[in-house]
Amino acid sequence: MKKDPILKENVLLQDSGVFQPWIKAGFRIGDKGTHTSRTIMLKELVLLFEDQEQGAPREAYVSAIVDHNCLGKQTVSTRKLTCQRLSELYGLDPSIPLFRVMRQLWQFDENGRPLLALLTALARDPLLRVTTSPVLQMKTGEELVRQKMAQILIEGLEDRLNDNILDKVVRNTSSSWTQSGHLKGRVRKIRQKVTPTPIVTAYALVLGYVLGARGNGLFNTLWAKVLDTPQEELVSLATDAKRLGFLDLSQAGGVVEVSFTRLFTEDERHLIHGTD
């Protein structure tokens, strides 16, 4: 998709195929996205994770939604569709590294859950990802101009959405940014700053790391920018995350080095950079 911010940050992704490591890690690239019909569905995700333990396999998530109706949907067809959309947004499969790491961090950070959900959805929904620019460029207290959201989607998709679907995507993405805390208000959407936790910061760094960012560059990726926090404060939060045991960090001569031996399995480390 044109205007996809991660394609701008990493030119290698422009030639990526389904077997590339970042795709296997959980990222989704292309022109399609869940936000044609849904938001990040934070309420449903919270309920699902309350119902299922951290290490649950994909089959358990599917059964909880479809067979046991843990989300309280009225019909079987709605349950199946909800399961499909949540799977698109989050993976719901511990064999997907991004989902496994997010699910692990989720249990330790109740306050950070909206941002953990948004960061994962941004990694997996190109439509939502395209809308980062108009949201992040807003000043605190500024009202969202929906036409700016629509315009960047039009440019990114080259008019492949009809007016009705485009309007749905604008509404749904606006709602998702509200659920994450970047916007507030039911009708008029007003920009507000979010406050990341150390664990959320660690996850944002994970996303950049998987895509190839290293050192100080980890604090200037799309995922870091979503946190509304200056680099020096993010480094401080990452230092706190180190104390909590979620990452490894060292600083020398103004250079920050970060690694994730505590979060990634050996197989995942090989997936990300071949050898480690």
Burial (Cβ within 10 Å: 0-12, 13-18, ≥19) of residue 198: buried
Stretch 125-152: mean pLDDT: 95
- pLDDT score recorded for residue 19: 45
What's the DSSP call for residue 55? T
- Name the residue with tokens 């439509």: 127
pLDDT given for residue 13 in this prediction:
53
What angle in degrees, to the nearest 10, is found between the helix axes of 198-210 and 97-106? 170
The CA radius of gyration of the chain, in Å to the nearest whole number, is 18
Q: Is the pLDDT of residue 36 over 50?
A: yes
Looking at residue 15, its pLDDT comes to: 54
What CA–CA distance (Å, rounded) separates 29 from 129?
10
- In the predicted structure, residue 6 carries a pLDDT above the cut 90: no
Mean pLDDT of 35-55: 97
Alpha helices in the chain (DSSP H): 5-9, 21-25, 42-51, 58-66, 76-90, 97-106, 113-124, 126-130, 132-136, 146-157, 163-180, 198-210, 222-225, 231-244, 266-273
CA dihedral 159, 160, 163, 168 (to 10 degrees): -120
Q: What is the pLDDT of residue 249?
A: 96
The 10s digit of each residue's pLDDT in 172-216 is 999 999 999 999 999 899 999 999 999 999 999 999 999 989 999
What is the chain's mean pLDDT, rounded? 92
C-beta neighbour count of 227 within 10 angstroms: 23
Question: Residue 14's pLDDT is what?
Answer: 53
- Compute how many other C-beta atoms are within 10 angstroms of the C-beta atom of residue 137: 10
Domain ranges of the chain: 198-273
Note the pLDDT of residue 260: 94
Top CATH class of 198-273 equals mainly alpha
The C-alpha atoms of residue 169 and residue 161 are separated, in whole angstroms, by: 9
* Each residue's pLDDT tens digit, 216-246: 999 999 999 999 999 999 999 999 999 999 9
Q: What is the pLDDT of residues 86-109, one digit of tens each?
A: 999 999 999 999 999 999 999 999
pLDDT band per the 50, 70, 90 thresholds, residue 22: confident
